[in-house]
Amino acid sequence: MIMMTEEPKRCNPLLLEMHQINKSFPGVHAIKNVSMKLHHGEVLGLVGENGAGKSTLIKVLGGAHLPDSGRILIEGQPIDILSPTAAQQVGVSIIYQEFNLIPDLTVRENIFLGREKTRMGFVRATEEQRATLDLFDKIGISIDPDARCGELTVAQQQTVEIAKALSVNARIIVMDEPTATLTTQEVDRLFAIIRDLKSQGLGIIYISHRLEEVFKVADCVMVLRDGEHVGTEDIDNLNREKLIEMMVGRPIDSEFPKRLASPGQERLRVEELCHGQAVSNVSFSVRAGEILGFAGLVGAGRTETMRLVFGADRPDSGRIFINGDEAEIHSPSNAIRRGICLLTEDRKGQGLVLIHSCLENYGLPNLDRLIGRVFLNRRKERKEFCNFAESLRIKTSGPEQLIMNLSGGNQQKVVIAKWLARNTDIMIFDEPTRGIDVGTKYEIYLLMNRLANEGKAVIMISSELPEILGLSDRIIVMHEGRVKGEITNVANATQEDILSMAIA
């Protein structure tokens, strides 16, 4: 067991102190006497499992939640942060994972929204444009101030958020899962911006489940677990294994649990599948008891291929065979009846109905089993969900809890539960661990191994190459809508082997 450590000694002046913060919600003590320190010119990595309290602590700092008790000091001065506006006024800016930009407004308009530079009631657009270009020059990027935000890439939108933070003279910037949808090159550019902001004396709190990034960018790391501060360590005093043990409260012998693969009969075969320019002549097969990994850069066509297999999109041409028989799949409901399920990449947008309860989300793809002669069998639905909640360790206040109020990891477990209830032979996982903590990742890895051992055919799309190499029995690599290669000897493969195909 890792014990709480003393606060590391830092050379730079203290910028932020959160002292003995407590915050409770009905039935949940989310933050328990948590203290944090951040210095000028420092990147503090904030890590912990889903539900550890990271988001609650940051929302207290950002004025979205009022603490039940505790103090916040900025440069030694006690501050009452009673609203997000008050947080901005004292130099705190939060860049959430889901950006707070209006797509139909221009870059300039988004940056100065609510703080427009005016004269006699008219917006001084030229002055705003000049100020926007100065902000972009400060972080070393080039974006047209008059471009609409909806037309920008995700990476460009993120830099607009950073410029927006700097426009209110932020001294403290919080970045919540900033690389979740970025390419490797875009991540490198973001890290360069962070290093530049550090050199200007800003303090940055960096929240991420991607531990390799934390080791690259953070000066020290603060760990939360179950709403409590486990410890804060200089990054030089940590390794990956020690950090994982601090996060989960126990040692994990292997980050990727091993199993002995014994593939059986062919479950799914795809031949010459095409759809516009996104998918071109894609062919592959997967067998019972096998985990087939799909790798490639963003936009390689992996998700588009699986949407065709699942019937979410219609192919221009190609054939699909299930257990040796050709199948016409015209819709997701048709795919489900044929024994295929898809855990979508965007669980919030496509995998869940956020304003519905956990129980209702579980029941949606299972209505045909749960409806009796006329009415839904509520008792059966509840019993099934509660059984899955126990076996998958889904943390909820009850089946009726709104799914939007669960952590990302628990939301993903509900998605998994509703598909497990279908007992399909072919299970497609698209980025199954995106935005999920290392402890929950391990549980999902064990589940995928169990499904393969039970004779299911498992397809996994992942942008995390260690995950692809650690779990897959075979790997298909895609590039610009085409299959560029296949790796069968995964045990001896490297990340460089995959990347050489992915960028070819």
User: pLDDT by residue for the chain (504 residues), tens digit each?
Assistant: 444 445 555 667 899 999 999 999 877 788 999 999 999 999 999 998 877 889 899 999 999 999 999 999 999 999 999 999 899 899 998 888 777 788 899 998 888 887 777 777 777 788 888 888 888 887 777 889 899 988 887 778 888 888 888 887 889 999 888 887 677 777 888 888 889 889 989 999 999 888 888 999 999 999 999 899 999 999 999 998 889 888 888 766 667 888 888 899 999 999 999 999 899 999 999 999 999 999 998 778 999 999 999 999 999 999 999 999 999 999 999 999 999 999 988 788 788 898 999 999 999 888 888 887 778 888 999 999 999 898 888 888 889 999 988 877 788 889 989 988 888 999 999 988 887 777 778 888 999 999 999 999 999 999 888 899 999 999 999 999 999 999 999 999 998 899 889 886
**H/E stretch holding 21:** strand 14-25
How far apart, in whole angstroms, are the C-alpha atoms of residue 111 and residue 108? 5
6 shares its domain with 122? no
149 and 190 belong to one structural domain: no
Residue 64 lies in a domain: yes
Residue 370 within any structural domain of the chain? no
Domain hosting 115: range is 101-168
pTM: predicted TM-score of the whole model, two decimal places: 0.68
Is position 412 within any domain?
A: no
Q: Are residues 431 and 329 in the same domain?
A: yes
**83 lies in a domain?**
yes
Q: Is residue 419 part of a domain?
A: no
**How many domains does the chain fold into?**
3
Residue 311: which CATH number? 3.40.50.300
Check whether residue 303 and residue 433 sit in a common domain: yes
> Cα–Cα distance between 477 and 493 in angstroms, integer?
13
Domain edge (last residue) among 205, 228, 251: 251
The verdict on 55 and 186 lying in the same domain is yes
- 180 and 66 share one domain: yes
Give the CA diameter of the chain. 76
CA-CA distance, 289 to 452, in Å (whole number)? 4
Residues 134 and 30 in one domain: no
Distance CA 431, CA 196 (A): 31
CB 301 within 8 A of CB 279: yes
Q: Judge whether 371 lies within some domain.
A: no
Question: Cβ-count burial of 137 within 10 angstroms (0-12 exposed, 13-18 middle, 19+ buried)?
Answer: exposed
182 and 79, same domain (yes or no): yes
